[in-house]
Structure 1
C-alpha cells in the first residue's frame, strides 16, 4: 500500500504541487524522532538506515532539502552523515545556527546560557530530581532528560515549574519535548526557520516532517505559508509519546522507518 496518500485535502494539493513542480519544492525535516530513532542517550543517535540515501536522491530532484533541529548543527551533520547530501542546509538550535557546504555559522550564546549551566545542578538537587535525570549540554542550550528515570513522566512534571522559573530568571525560553525540557535562547523557533528558508528559496511548495512539540511551530508556519499561496504538507513521524502533531498532520507514518519509506516512494514518484 502506498504511503503517498495524505488524509487532508490541503495535503493532497501540496503533494500534487511537489510532483508537478519539484524544482520549487522545499523539504525540511526534524532530526531526532523523525530521521533518527529516539534512543536513551541522545549521543548515540544516528540516522535511520536509508534516510541519507533518500535525502541524497531527493536533493537531486527538488529545490532544497533541509534539516531543522534543536541540536547543534554540526552535531546533527556528524550523527546523521548529512555532509554526504549535496546542497543540504542544516539549521541547528532551532535555526540559530546554519551549516551549509561545510561552512558553519554560529552566533555567540546569550549570557543566560552560562547562568543556567552553573545553576542547573543545584536546582535539580534542591527539588529532588530522581536518579536517572541528566543534563545534556548543547553549548548554546541545556536540556534536562528524564527518560532514564523510573517514572519519566512524573520526573518531568516535578521539574517543569522549577526549570521554567530558572529559564525566566535567566532570560531563556523553555522548550518541552519527549521526556526532556530544554532551556534555550529565545527569539527563534522551527517555524521562523522554515519560513525564512521558504522565502530564501522562493518555494512554491513546502513539506515539513517532525515528531515532537518543538515541531508544532513549523506546522504553524506551514499553515501561514498556505495562506500566502505556498502549498504545504505536514508529515508526522508518529509515536505513542507525543500525539499533538498527529492531530494536525496531513499524513502520519510509523516513526523514522515510516518517514524513510515515504521518502523512498516520493523519490520513485519523482522519477527515481
Structure 2
C-alpha cells in the first residue's frame, strides 16, 4: 500500500505528474520504463568518481521500486556516462535492471547470474582514432594539477573538478581542439568533457530501450512510456526524445527540457517511493 509520506516531500505538480505517469487507462499500452541517470541524480557528485555511491534514501527507493516491479510490465534502467562495468560496480543494481554505459555505447542487463553485457567492438579506424584521442588528451592535462583523463572502452574523459579555473579553461580548450582535429564531438558536462569515437547519446539509448521494453513485455506495437531523471547537460538529449505520456524530471538547477524538477537525490527518492507505492497499491 502507498505510505502516507510517499508524496510529502514533493511539490504538488511533481507528485501529480508521477501519478499521471503511473495511471492506466483503457487505451494504455501498459508498458513503462523508469530510466535514471546515476551521478548527480541517484549519487551525489564527489571528487573521486570511484567513491560515488547512491544516497541512502535513493538506495532504499531504488530497491523498493525494483521489488514492486516484479511481475509487472514496468522496467528499471540506469543510464550513465560511466563505462558499463564501473556503473554496475558503483550502483549495485537490482536484478532485472537494464544498464546503459558510456552514454549509450555499452549496454547490459542484470540477471541473477550477474551482468549480461553486450560486447563493444571497435573497428580499426575507431581504434586508431581512440589511440590518437588518448594521446592528445594526455597532452592536454600535462602540467595541469587536478586535471586528469579517464579512459573508457570507446572514449576518453577530461576531469577538471579538482583543477584551478585557469588550468580548467586551458585543458578544456586543448581537449576541444584535439576532438576537432579528429572530427569528433566533445560532450561537455559538469566538470567533465567526454570525447567518444562511437557516436551515441543518452537520448538514442532511451529510444532503443523503449523498443527493448516493449519486446520484453510482449507489446512490440505499443508505445513504452518513459520516466527519465537526470541532472546534467548530457541528460538533455534524453529529455529531448520524451513525448506525450512520458515524464522528464530534472534533478538540481540549470536550464532543462524536462517538464518537472526536484532538488536533489533525496527528492528523487521521494519520486521513486511514490511510484513504487502506486504500483504496490495496484497489485
Tell me the TM-score normalized by structure 2. 0.80
Inter-partner Cα distance in structure 1 for 2:162 and 2:120 = 32
DSSP-derived class of the 2:145 partner: coil
Query: 1:220 Cα deviation (Å)?
Result: 0.5
Q: CA RMSD in A?
A: 2.3
133-142 or 211-220: which moved more?
133-142
Q: Which residue of 2 aligns with 1:219?
A: 239
Could you tell me which residue of structure 2 aligns to residue 106 of structure 1? 119
Q: Which residue of 1 aligns with 2:278?
A: 269
Deviates further, 107-116 or 50-59: 50-59
Pick aligned residue for 2:156 from 132, 142, 145: 142
1:79-158 mapped onto 2 (5 Å cutoff):
79-82=90-93, 85-100=94-109, 101=111, 102-109=115-122, 110-111=126-127, 112-125=129-142, 130-151=144-165, 154-158=166-170
How far is 1:192 from its partner?
A: 0.5
CA distance in 1, matches of 2:22, 2:37: 19
Report deviation, 1:270.
2.5
Aligned-pair distance for 1:14?
6.7
1:238 aligns with 2:215: no
Gaps of 5+ in 1: none
Greater RCO between the two (CA within 8 Å, min separation 6)? Answer: 2
**Counterpart of 2:74?**
63
Structure 1 runs, 4 residues or longer, greater than 6 Å off: none
Deviation readout 1:73-100 (Å, 9 max, x if unpaired): 1111111111xx1210001111111121
* 1-structure distance, mates of 2:234, 2:121: 22
Secondary structure at 2:280 match in 1: coil
**Are residues 4 and 73 of structure 1, via their aligned partners in 2, closer, same or farther at CA, if it must alter by over 3 Å?**
farther
Where does residue 173 of structure 1 map in the other structure? 185
- Compared CA separation, residues 171 and 107, structure 1 to 2 (3 A): farther
| Per-residue deviation, residues 188-236 of structure 1 (Å, max 9, x unmatched) | 10001001111222344210000001001001011xx43xxxx111111
Secondary structure at 1:182's aligned position in 2? Answer: strand
**Which residue, out of 43, 48, 54, partners 2:50?**
43
Q: 1:228-258: CA deviations, max 9, x gaps?
A: xxx111111104xxx123xx32221121122
Q: Give, in whole Å, the separation in 2 of the partners of 1:64 and 1:88.
A: 7
The answer to whether the Cα contact below 8 Å between 1:113 and 1:170 also exists between their aligned partners in 2 is no
Mapped contact 1:36–1:48 kept (Cα < 8 A): yes
The question of whether the paired residues in 2 share the 8 Å contact of 1:56 and 1:86 is answered with no
Please name the residue that 1:201 is paired with: 213
Would you say how many aligned residue pairs link Structure 1 and Structure 2?
A: 251
Q: Conserved in 1, the CA contact under 8 Å of 2:18 and 2:275?
A: no
Name the CA distance, whole Å, in 2 between partners of 1:208 and 1:218.
Answer: 7
| Structure 2: runs of 5+ lacking an equivalent | 1-7, 215-222
Is the counterpart of residue 19 in structure 1 residue 26 in structure 2?
no
Please identify which structure carries the higher helix content: 1
